[in-house]
Structure 1
Amino acid sequence: MKVAADLDLCQGHQMCQFEAPDVFGLDEAEDKVVLLDATPPEELREQVVRAVKYCPAMALSMED
């Protein structure tokens, strides 16, 4: 699984951080998402799916 974030779309809502804190962080200076792990382990799949699904700005994507 590979995760990506579009920083042009990110609005800093931090929903991804709540759903998958081991994968997503926040750059407080930019108020944008930071990928902590662009290729998270399979056991975090459910968290990543929820983070992508619930991103209000639709700035996240994942592929297998």
Structure 2
Amino acid sequence: MSEESMQDAAAAARHARYGRLPERIRFEDMTEAAEASPGAVRGAHDPEGSWKYYSCLALDLGL
């Protein structure tokens, strides 16, 4: 009987801690809108600087 009461106590403790879901978060609270600066163009192709982002395993290993 003591084992059964321990299980009931453990179940009661779990229910007290995890008995309900957390409060729902609205979509508007999860997103943020920001204005883009007119001078900065992200993702623009720069042929002279493209070597900086080139990665090749064979070249890294010196093959």
With the shorter chain as reference, the TM-score category is under 0.3
Where is the strand percentage greater, Structure 1 or Structure 2? 1
